[in-house]
A and B are shown apart, each in its own frame.
Chain A
Amino acid sequence: MSDMSVDVWLYGPLARYGKEADQGSFANLQMRLPDGSNMDALLRRLGINADERGITFINGQLSAMPGLQPDLGYTLSDGDRVGIFHPKSMWPFQYRHGASMTEEMARAMRQEKDHGLHHTYEEAGDSS
């Protein structure tokens, strides 16, 4: 089975999962994964539990928020950029209103209370 490379950015306390790439406040690493790997596989490889991460981006598209993680099944491709944040990080609604989201995330948001017009989703649970 062939490999692919993913450009991974880990922020805040998650930097430690970058091991030798840990810069203290962030880590940037090129990870080799089997073709067809999904987000769940990436997190497992990093050793990050799904509830230890919060806001997540795949190629600049919002794919997860704390309490809303519809991206675990997302199939990654060679050259993708993935940015993973600690649950402490935040992105208020008015500053992401109209920003790019993965299709799964857009769908999950629409299904949320008030069309997702909130800052946090922790009580809403995982709708993936």
Chain B
Amino acid sequence: MWILRVNMNDRIYRLSEVPEAYKNLGGRGTTSTIVYDEVPPLCHPLGPNNKLVFAPGIVTGTAASTSARVSAGAKSWLTGGIKESNAGSSWASYLANMRIKALIVEGQPKEKGKYWMAHITWDDGAGKPKVSFLPADPYTGKDLYEVFPKVYEQFGARAAIAGCGVAGEYGYGNSGIAYNDLGKRPSRYSGRGGLGTVMASKGLKFIVLESKGAPGVAIANKEVFDRGAKKLTEALREHAITKPKGGLNTYGTAVLINIMNEAGGLPTRNFSSGRFEGAAKIAGEAIFEGVKNRLGKEVYNHACSPGCIIQCSNTWYKPDGTEHTSCVEYESDWALGANCGIDSLDDVAEMVRLCNAYGLDTIEAGTTLAVAMEAGVIPFGDGKKAIGLVQEMGKGTPLGRILGGGTEFTGRAFGVTRVPTVKRQSMPAYEPRAVKGIGITYATSTMGADHTAGYTIGPEILGVGGKVDPLSPEGKAALSRGFQATTAFIDSTGHCLFIAFAILDIPSGFEGMMEECNGVLGTNWASEDAAKIGGEILRKERAFNEAAGIGKAEDRVPEFMKFEPLPPHNQVYDVPDKVLDSVYGEL
């Protein structure tokens, strides 16, 4: 395995062996460890001392199901803290197939406004990856849907692409890194935390991979790996949520819109209500039915990346049956729909398409629009005007630049008090006043408000079997701590977090995941090691944040949630601060 350093000062690269201490890391474990070890916590996120790290997971590139994830990490431009944001794409597998444990982008060109592409291929003769640098001028300032096909034309259909859009070039706090999906769309994202701008700040527009001839992932113990992969695959095929034609494959992640709405926990009109009267019109069920009506047949969802069994990515079609966009995820649907009071799937889909085109995080975009609506820039519920505001972001107009700064930045520009952020990152689609447990994770996560920071994989490893009452505040804090640790572990394996649905309920699936990792690495990890390894990652992330000036005073939900009751349950956020402090205090 290699550590590949790409230095953008003068566009040189260096390959080195993986140090012993990094041997068993993967994904988030790799990116967070390298950021912790190498990035000065007080550096400017867009300066020469920040580093952007990409890492495939431990089993990425193998035959393990649903494992083509890549983690991107850096000091975040949005939060100022550590960031890891992962995505599913063939790009992840290519990196792994070339045995690149970590790709570290360092330095910064002196010349401003000049962008490059790094083309990484396998050098058969030398038996290692090689990098060439090409100018990216023809591709800057443009829509990624327009640019991706041209990049494929230049490098061939077997390439995989990661890159930033104009949002990154403009320097927005809201900017992601886009990766190709299986249909070659720029639609898979390391969306959160402004990593697109960190990439752009290095003068790097695209990283194009081609792994032809590469040896693939080395597996230390094939028998153990195969046994594990089989168990996990069986669990995914069996579980109601993850199986073919199950909940996710049918309705996509937007299966949760109607559920959260009935629960009174679907943030609506900038977190002023937990219920949206138009929810059923934009829900996963409506997407499934709408596609059926427009195409005249039932369409189940597709995989975002190679080897996925769950296949939860949908496509929305225009009335004439042509493709509008892929994919309308729950979070995007909610952020640009319910949270803006918009009940038109066509309008939501157009905004999703535009976010993909510009390189914007859909969550941050939707929560920003809602804050702008709160400020009176446009009315709640006006889909056409909302589309117009997203276009302003794409054009880089003065208003667009304010909005591109993100939710908190926009709140400051307009003097809005109801700003749903933690550590400057906006909240996703679960209202903490209605779902108290997720609020603890939002408040304390090292990432800022993040719905993917707290999944669980096995109750026994969390010690809930009789020890804690999961409904008490202390129980919720203990669970959030356990959830965050196990999530950091899954984020290191390269598996999509959604495998957690199956392996929590099917113990053999959980064993399978551990055996896959042991098979690849030659380790002897037992079940309880998952939370331990995850906990180590959290400690590094937390230490980085504290050194960057982000301490426990920022482990809080926004103040308005403590005194504004949320309809329909009319609850405030009442989890005591000492409970929040105990999450990392007792890690």
Binding site for B on A (CB under 8 A): 9, 11-12, 15, 23-26, 28, 55, 57, 59-60, 62, 66, 83, 85, 87-100, 106, 110, 114-120, 122
Contacts and interface: CB of A to CB of B under 8 A. Distances in A.
A114 B250 contact: no
B569 A100 contact: yes
B437 interface: yes
Contacts of B436: 97-99
Contacts, number: 148
B247 A118 contact: no
Contact of A92 (B241, B250, B465): B241
A74 to B, nearest CB: 15
Given A24-B293, A93-B456, A95-B430, A88 B251 contact: yes
B246 A88 contact: yes
B247 A88 contact: yes
Contacts of A88: 240, 246-247, 250-251, 255
Interface residues on B, range: 35 or more
A118 B505 contact: yes
17 contacts: A9-B258, A25-B288, A83-B262, A85-B259, A89-B247, A90-B247, A90-B501, A95-B256, A97-B437, A97-B476, A98-B435, A98-B476, A99-B265, A99-B436, A117-B464, A118-B459, A119-B241
A63 B455 CA distance: 23
B280 interface: yes
B23 to A, nearest CB: 31
Interface of B is mostly: helix
Contacts of A116: 470
Nearest to B262: A83
A68 to B, nearest CB: 13
A59 B570 CA distance: 12
Contact of A119 (B265, B289, B501, B569): B501
Contacts of B504: 93, 117-119
B295 to A, nearest CB: 14
A99 B459 CA distance: 19
Contacts of A110: 469, 471
A117 B467 CA distance: 13
B259 A55 contact: yes
Nearest to A86: B285
A57 B483 contact: no
B568 A60 contact: yes
Which of B438, B470, B479, B501 neighbours the largest number of chain A CB atoms within 10 Å of its CB? B470
B437 A25 contact: no
A92 B568 CA distance: 21
Contacts of A92: 241, 455, 500-501
Considering the complex of A and B, which 6 residue pairs feature the smallest CB-CB distances, nearest first? A97-B437, A98-B436, A83-B262, A98-B437, A114-B459, A60-B264
B5 interface: no
A92 B457 CA distance: 11
B292 to A, nearest CB: 8
A118 to B, nearest CB: 5
A83 B261 CA distance: 10
Nearest to A115: B470
B285 A87 contact: no
A91 B241 CA distance: 9
Contact of B239 (A24, A115, A120): A120
A88 to B, nearest CB: 5
Which of B441, B460, B501 neighbours the largest number of chain A CB atoms within 10 Å of its CB? B501
B405 interface: no
Interface of B: 239-241, 246-248, 250-251, 255-256, 258-260, 262-265, 274-275, 280, 283, 285-286, 288-290, 293, 430, 434-439, 441, 451, 454-456, 459-460, 462, 464-465, 469-471, 476, 479, 483, 500-501, 504-505, 568-569
Contact of B251 (A89, A96, A114, A115): A89
B471 A98 contact: yes
Given A60-B275, A98-B476, 14 more contacts: A11-B280, A25-B280, A25-B286, A60-B262, A66-B240, A88-B255, A90-B241, A91-B263, A98-B436, A110-B469, A115-B469, A118-B505, A119-B504, A122-B240
B468 to A, nearest CB: 8
Nearest to A67: B240
A57 B274 CA distance: 14
A26 B280 contact: yes
A106 B434 CA distance: 15
Nearest to B568: A60
A83 B290 CA distance: 21
A115 B479 CA distance: 12
Which of A60, A85, A87 neighbours the largest number of chain B CB atoms within 10 Å of its CB? A60
Contacts of A106: 471
B566 to A, nearest CB: 11
A126 to B, nearest CB: 16
A60 B569 contact: yes
B479 A97 contact: yes
A97 B435 CA distance: 6
A91 B260 CA distance: 8
A99 B280 contact: no
B283 A97 contact: no
Contacts of B250: 88
A86 B459 CA distance: 26
Nearest to B462: A117
Contacts of B239: 119-120
Which of B285, B479, B483, B568 neighbours the largest number of chain A CB atoms within 10 Å of its CB? B285
B455 A114 contact: no
A93 B458 CA distance: 12
B263 A89 contact: no
A11 to B, nearest CB: 5
A25 B285 contact: yes
B456 A94 contact: yes
Nearest to A57: B262
Contacts of A99: 263, 265, 434-437
Nearest to B567: A60
A118 B501 CA distance: 8
A117 B247 contact: no
Contacts of B441: 94
B283 A26 contact: yes
B470 to A, nearest CB: 5
Contacts of A85: 258-259, 262
